[in-house]
Chain A
Amino acid sequence: MKPPPFRYHDPRTLAETIDLLARLENAKLLAGGQSLMPMLNFRYAQPDNVIDLGRVEDLAYIREEGSGLRIGAMTRQRDIEFSDLVRKRCPLMADAIRFVGHRQTRNRGTIGGSLSHLDPAAELPLVCATVDATVHVAGKKGERAIPMAKFPQGYMTPAIEADEMVIAVSVPASGPGYGFVEFARRHGDFAIVAAAATLEIANGTVKRASIALGGVGPAPVRCADAEKLLAGQKPTPDALRAAAETCRKIDAMEDVHAPASYRQHLATVMTRRALEAAVKNAGA
């Protein structure tokens, strides 16, 4: 299993990269390579041109942006894992990152690559969906910002044009009331179901709940019914259980690992556990 022949390009600036992307036929962007390289080795992907982002300056950073964060597309998952700023401003992401593959793949894998590849079970798109992140893309026509709710257009299909690329993601600050759980066959395997939740709790009452599931649908799914049910409620075990139960009617995928009904059941269990973790972490 070897990659097919292609022409390799290693631009140094974003402008150069966008120019190549607009000019070259059948080009693929190589970020951390943890998804594209297997696809090349299997020859699922047969690009005529590979544009390596590894040497493009100013794409790897974690910065403060308002009360939240702006994370450059080429920021390695490893750097997110060990960032104090991420732990402070988006503890949900800091927690979830441990479930992304293994150390060897987090050392190379990037947040921009994960968002662009958009695997249905991927943790980083799930976190971004939960906290209402905004994806910044750039192309020949300029830059635009895409709310995470509109970013997935379908199974592994982000709302990016062929001549555009993800350059960064804005992550609003989220508080200590977070929970992330996943069910996989082994640590580091793709999640059969993953659940992420953030709860804003004031005076013992849930002010706002954000809940999303990964591995269930073709892209991360927000659980609007559960969120509505919890808002204004006290986060009692019964309230959490009732909210989680609404996830049973989610349209679930069926594959070699599990039938849809099993995923729907897991969705209720994982959601409940994520909510319980969020309540515990919030110290409420």
Chain B
Amino acid sequence: MADTRSITVTVNGQPYTRTVETRLTLADFLRHELGLTGTHLGCEHGVCGACTVLVEGRTARSCLMLAVQAAGKSIVTVEGIAPSETELHPLQQAFQDNHGLQCGFCTPGMLTTLLEFLGDNPDPTEAEVREAISGNLCRCTGYQGIVDAALDAAKRMRK
């Protein structure tokens, strides 16, 4: 019989209680159990960074965490970044304005990664931005638009 647990996880401010298989990853929990498909799964072994979410305010790769490890914790996914249904977060707006995405697959991971990074380092250099996103793969943009967006967002968020 499958090993299961009942867990309560707060996602984007809302608590969810579900009974899950203990081997379920946090990424699959978010996508399949909660229907929050904004978190993307690329490689499923911690290389591409697409599934990055914030766990207690700190980025983590949700494919490298079990859902049961998130029990009692507070998670923010890409769906939880914007201030309202009709407004974008300044970081999201900067991505739109600077062509920081093309296909959009890596974008959720880029946004969550940069959200933590810009919180810690509000005035980064270009080199620091490139290091910050070194764990996130993008196959469309050549990264330049993403770096521009991050630097632009930093400027907007400092205001």
A contacts, CB < 8 Å to B: 1-8, 10, 30, 33-34, 37-38, 40-42, 50, 52, 54, 78, 101-105, 107-108, 186-188
Contacts and interface: CB of A to CB of B under 8 A. Distances in A.
B5 interface: yes
A38 B27 CA distance: 13
A103 B117 CA distance: 9
16 contacts: A2-B23, A5-B21, A8-B3, A8-B5, A8-B22, A34-B64, A37-B63, A41-B45, A102-B49, A102-B134, A104-B60, A107-B59, A108-B64, A187-B131, A187-B134, A188-B135
Given A10-B68, A52-B68, A188-B135, A5 B23 contact: yes
B113 A6 contact: no
Nearest to B3: A7
A105 B48 CA distance: 12
Given A3-B23, A33-B69, A187-B131, A107 B2 contact: no
A76 to B, nearest CB: 9
B81 interface: no
Contacts of B113: 103-104
B3 A101 contact: no
Interface in B23-64: 23, 25, 28, 44-46, 49, 52, 55, 58-61, 63-64
A158 to B, nearest CB: 21
Given A102-B135, A103-B113, A103-B132, A4 B60 contact: no
A38 B117 CA distance: 24
Given A4-B23, A103-B113, A41 B134 contact: no
Nearest to B132: A103
B69 A103 contact: no
Contacts of A34: 46, 61, 64
Contact of A78 (B25, B45, B58, B63): B58
A97 to B, nearest CB: 13
A107 B28 CA distance: 20
Contact of B68 (A1, A5, A8): A8
A104 B120 CA distance: 13
Given A6-B23, A38-B46, 8 more contacts: A8-B66, A33-B66, A38-B45, A42-B45, A52-B69, A103-B117, A104-B60, A187-B131
Interface string B110-142: 000100110000000000001110110000000
